[in-house]
Amino acid sequence: MTDPATTGVHSQPAIRGSLTPIVTPFANGEIDEVTFTALIRHQIDNGGHGVAIAGTTGEPTSLTLDERERLFHLATEAVDGRGAVLAGTGTSDFADTVRLGRAAQRAGATAALVVVPYFVQPPQRGLLDWFRRAADESELPVILYDIPGRAGVGLSVDTTAQLAQHENIVGVKLARPDLIHASNVIASCGPNFGVYCGVEALCFPMLVLGGAGHVSATGNLFPAEMAAMAEAVFAGDIETARSIHYRLLAVNEAIFFETNPIPLKAMLALRGLARPDVRPPLAPATPELTARLETILAATANN
C-alpha cells in the first residue's frame, strides 16, 4: 500500500467540513424557490460549511436540466461567498453532464459533484475514461460521487486512485457503508485528496479515519450539530464529536426508513422548514411513518 503521506497531486483539500445536500422543496409540483433559498441560508447561518445542490437528496432525476441550472444560481446567491457550493452536475449522458458543469461554473459554484453514471453499469475502464473526460471539460474542480446502491456500479479503490492523479479531480463522496473501502481510498489517494462521507451514520468514523468532511442529509435538520462534529474532529476533540454522533444516530437511521428524501422531507415539515412534497415516482410519507418520525425528532431534540 502506498504511503498516504507522500501520495497525491493536490494541495490540502480546500473544501472541508459539513456540506449539506439540500432537499429540493416543491409546492404544487413546482420548485419552491423561496423555501429553497431559506433552507440554504439556514445552513450557513447555523455554521454549515457549504451545501450540495441536486445531489441524491435533491431528487435530481426528477428535475429538468433548466431546473438544475436555476438551483445552482439560487444556491450561490444564497450562500453569498460564506461557504462552498457543490453543484450536482452528473447524469448518465455526457453532453448533459458537460452542460450542467458549465452552468455551475457560470453560476459561481465551488466544485462539480459528478455521480457515477447510473443504470448502465459500465466497467471500470469506462468509468476511468468518463471521469477523465468530464474533468478535462470542466472549468470547476470535480468531486467524484460514488454511490453504487443507486448507480448500480461503484468506483474501485484502484480506479479512484488513478482518477485522483488528475489535477482537476480533487475528491470523492463515498456513499457506501464500508469503512474498509473508505480506509483504502484514503490510503491510496493521500491526505491531499478530499474524501467525503455520504453515509449519515458513518460521518464521525470517516472523519476520524482522515475524511475531509461529510455530505450528510442529516444536516438539513441539524446543521449546527453536523458542522460542530466536523470541527471537533479537526480540532482533535474526539469526545465532543462522538457525543454528537450518538445524539443524532436515530435521526441518521430514520432518514432511510423509506427512500431518501421521503422521511427527511416529512421531518422538515414537522419542524416547519419545508413542505413534505416529493415528485413522482416518490410518494409522501404515510401518516404512520410521519408519527414515527415525529417521535424520533422529539427524542433527539430533548437528548
Spatial CA neighbour of 251 closest among 214, 195, 292: 292
Please identify which of the residues 145, 196, 246, 265 carries the catalytic annotation. 145
Residue 155 CA, chain-centre distance (Å), reads 16
Beta bridge partners, 27, equal 30
Contact 51, 120 (CB under 8 A): no
Residues 6+ apart with CB under 8 A from 246: none
| Spatial separation of the C-alpha atoms in residues 119 and 100, rounded to whole Å | 19
Please identify which of the residues 118, 173, 246, 265 carries the catalytic annotation. 173
Residues 6+ apart with CB under 8 A from 12: 191, 192
Residue 60 one-letter amino acid: P
Is 265 annotated in the active site? no
Angle of the 94-107 helix axis to the 124-137 helix axis, nearest 10: 40
Is 145 annotated in the active site? yes
| Spatial separation of the C-alpha atoms in residues 69 and 98, rounded to whole Å | 12
| Spatial separation of the C-alpha atoms in residues 284 and 279, rounded to whole Å | 9
Residues 6+ apart with CB under 8 A from 159: 124, 127, 128
Spatial CA neighbour of 89 closest among 102, 78, 76: 102
Would you please indicate which residues are annotated as catalytic (active-site) residues?
A: 145, 173
